[in-house]
Structure 1
Amino acid sequence: MPHIIIEHSEDLPVLPQVLVEKVHNATFQSGLFDLETIKTRAIAYQQYQLGEGKEGFIHIAAHIMAGRSIEQKQMLSESLLECLKTYCRDSDSLSVNIYDIQHEIYRKN
């Protein structure tokens, strides 16, 4: 845990695998997770519509086990957004959201 899902426009200024690696490392650098528990993946979109002046987009959905403080979630969100800013154009729409996974209903094998 966590699951880091990167949704993005197809025309990124960085290779998707590079973006996955950078976001994966930024997640680890947050100090909230062990490296072997982080799962990061990317989904590219061909069809999308953005606000005026935006060329592309990246949205990170970080699904983490419930129990972290608001401050920890804010720090993770900020560090992931800063990572995106490093590798993206000013004209890209960038966003991050942190979602709590409830221990009582989450299942894996």
Structure 2
Amino acid sequence: MPHIIIEHSEHLPILPQVLLERVHKAAIATDLFDPATVKTRAVTYQHYQLSAGKEGFIHIQVHIMAGRTTTQKQTLSESLLACISAFCPASYCLSVHIYDLLPEIYRKN
């Protein structure tokens, strides 16, 4: 845990694999997770519509087991947003959302 899902527009100011690696490392750098448990993947969108003046987007979803404090979640979301803000121009829509997975209903093998 966590599961990090990066959704992004087809055209990026960075190679998708480099984006994935940087986000993965930024999540680990928060010291909130065992590095061996962090899973990161990316999904590219070819079709999307943004507000005027925006040329692309990156949205990061982070699914973590419930129990972390609001402060820990804020630290994680701020760290990931800072990570992608470092290489994206202002013409990109950037966002991060942290989701709690409920142990009562989350299953894995």
TM-score, normalised to structure 2, is: 0.98
Listed as ranges, the gaps of 5+ residues in structure 2 are none
Q: Residues of 2 paired with 1:29 and 1:73: CA distance?
A: 14
Residue 71 of structure 2 corresponds to 71
Residue 49 of structure 2 corresponds to 49
Q: Residues of 1 paired with 2:83 and 2:68: CA distance?
A: 21
Q: Residues of 1 paired with 2:29 and 2:13: CA distance?
A: 23
Identity of aligned residues (%): 66
Residue 104 of structure 2 corresponds to 104
Q: Residues of 2 paired with 1:22 and 1:92: CA distance?
A: 17
Residue 14 of structure 1 corresponds to 14
Q: CA deviation at 1:47?
A: 0.4
Q: Residues of 2 paired with 1:90 and 1:31: CA distance?
A: 29
Q: CA deviation at 1:76?
A: 0.4
Q: Residues of 2 paired with 1:89 and 1:49: CA distance?
A: 18
Q: CA deviation at 1:57?
A: 0.1
What are the Cα deviations for residues 22-48 of structure 1, in whole angstroms up to 9, with x where unaligned? 000000001100111000000000000
SS in 2 for 1:28: helix
Residue 93 of structure 2 corresponds to 93
TM-score, normalised to structure 1, is: 0.98
What are the Cα deviations for residues 54-103 of structure 1, in whole angstroms up to 9, with x where unaligned? 00000000000000000000010000000010121221000000000001
- The alignment covers a number of residue pairs equal to 109
Runs of 4+ in 1 over 4 A off after TM superposition: none
Q: Residues of 1 paired with 2:104 and 2:21: CA distance?
A: 30
Root-mean-square deviation over aligned CA pairs: 0.5
